[in-house]
Structure formats: C-alpha cells, structure tokens
Amino acid sequence: MLVLVAPGQGAQTPGFLTPWLDLPGVADRLAALSAAADLDLVHYGTNADADEIRDTAIAQPLLVAAGIVSAAALGTETFAAAGSPGAVAGHSVGEFTAATFAGVLDDTAALALVRKRGLAMADAAAITETGMSALLGGDPDVSVAHLEKLGLTPANINGAGQIVAAGTLEQLAALNEDKPEGVRKVVPLKVAGAFHTHHMAPAVETLAKAAADLTPADPKVRYVSNKDGQAVATGAEVLDRLVGQVANPVRWDLCMETFKQLGVTAIVEVSPGGTLVGLAKRALPGVKTLALKTPDDLDAARALIAEHGVA
C-alpha cells in the first residue's frame, strides 16, 4: 500500500520551484493558485531568498502550491492505474495539501484558506516573542515530561526520536541550560513563533471564521490526521481539525503508526520532499520511500506508485 504525504513549514529552499516551471501547464496552474492566495508564488518559489520565504505568511501557501503541482505532474492516470493512494497525510500545513489530494478542498479554496492561516499565525506570533527548538537524542517520554515542567509544549512529536519544543524565548533559553536527560543538543529553529501551541489561539479564531464559508467534501481516499493519527471520514471533521490543529501539537509519530497498521509498503513525499521520508526511513524500516524533489524524480515515483498502489 502506498501513502502520499506532504511536508510542512521549513521544507522550502530558495528556487525550489524553478525546475517545475519547465513542465507543461505548471505556470498556468501556479498563476491560478497565486490568484487564489493573492501572492506571486512563482516569484517566491524561484527568485526570493531564504529570509523572504521563511515568512510564515509566504511559506505556507508556497508549500501547499508546490505539493499540488508536483503531485499533479505525476498524472492522474498514474493513480487511477494503481487504484489511488491507500492513504494521504501532511505534516502541519501539509495537511492542507493532503486535503486537496483527498478531494476535501479544491486547490483554490485550499490556497485561499492557507494564506489566511499563514497571515493569522504571523499575527499571533507577533503578540509574544516565541520560538521552537528541536531536541536531538533522549527518551521521548522523559523529554516530554521535562518540557512540560519548563512550561514548554512538545509541539511536534515526529517519531524516530524527534521532538520539537515550543514556547517563549525565555522558556527556550531555560531549556538550553537545562536539557532533558539523554538529550545531546537543543537546536533553535528558524521559525517566527511557537506554532501548534496555545500561543496560536488567536489564529484559530480567525481561521474558523474563514473556514465557515467553505463546504468541504468527504475524503475520497483515507485521510490521516495530525491530531491523533486517525483516519477521518467526513469533510466537515477534516476542516474542523485543520482549524484546531494550528494550536495543537502535531502527532506525526501517530500518523506513521497508523500507516504501519494499514500495511504501508511505500511512501511518496511531494515537493519539496525529504523531511518526512527521512523520518519514515528511521521509524518504518523496510518501507520504500521517495522524495519528489524535482521533475527528475517523477519516473521513479510513478514506478513506485504502479508497484505499491492499492489496485
């Protein structure tokens, strides 16, 4: 069984969209997505520097658009021949990309909503100086208890021993001085705030108002949620979870556990892939993986889909 996954914020790099624009139809599709997001995605995906695309309000729609165009480049006939993916999922903002794969939201609705999400999260991050840090090494249970003692949130529990802490800069400084037992290093992340924590509560309210205008469809393929790793059966619940997840921890570890229970044999990560494939290699040994970084990876991805799809 094949699972199609989409990465979250931080996966973007300067110029990563450039090779995709050489494919027929991609420029037109990105133009439509840019109009929906009211943002020049081609500029930000080709000419913008690292600081520009680190901006939450830009990075989020850029990542969702990249996932949409790279998956589309695989060709709908590829999925039809394989019987479609056995499941789809995304990490953080990648959940919006996955929602388009599942048919819950159409492309333009997803881009319009995720642009509002990015702006709202950037506004929420400006209220208090907050950030995120990755913990290298250590026992997850010990680390989570230690973070909670310091008032920090384990905002991403990614599996394969990877946890990301989030909170105020003062709390993160205390973590650097008082690491959990077994943690080798605390690495500050280049993000604008404490995402997936209570600090994002104002963004949840804004996003909920925007989402109220949408009519989501029920998933056409199994959609696995970051909230608890469970498959969600209705479009209304998917949309509700997309809104609430802004201020709740990402449980990618539980998503991967669900993939395992479903009998996953292969994972394809859409552009700009790499992060989720890396986690899968450590947490799901024996599962074949492929990161769709550039169009040069399309043939290998199609072959994997043909071999592992749920015909």
**Domains in the chain: ranges and CATH:** 2-125+197-308 (3.40.366.10), 130-188 (3.30.70.250)
Reduce the DSSP state of residue 237 to 3 states and report it. Answer: helix
- Alpha-carbon distance of 153 to 167, in angstroms, equals 6
Reduce the DSSP state of residue 40 to 3 states and report it. Answer: coil
Q: Helix 56-74 and helix 298-308: axis angle, to 10°?
A: 70
User: Tens-digit pLDDT profile for the chain (311 aa)?
Assistant: 999 999 999 899 999 999 999 999 999 999 999 999 999 999 999 999 999 999 999 999 999 999 999 999 998 666 656 667 999 999 999 999 999 999 999 999 999 999 999 999 999 999 999 999 999 889 999 999 999 999 999 999 998 788 999 999 999 999 999 999 999 999 998 788 999 999 999 999 999 999 999 999 999 999 999 999 999 999 999 999 999 999 999 999 999 999 999 999 999 999 999 999 999 999 999 999 999 999 999 999 999 999 998 64
Element containing residue 23 per DSSP (H, E): none
Q: Which residues are catalytic?
A: 92, 196
pTM over 0.85: yes
Give which of 276, 279, 295, 272 is closest to 59, Cα–Cα: 272
- Alpha-carbon distance of 67 to 100, in angstroms, equals 10
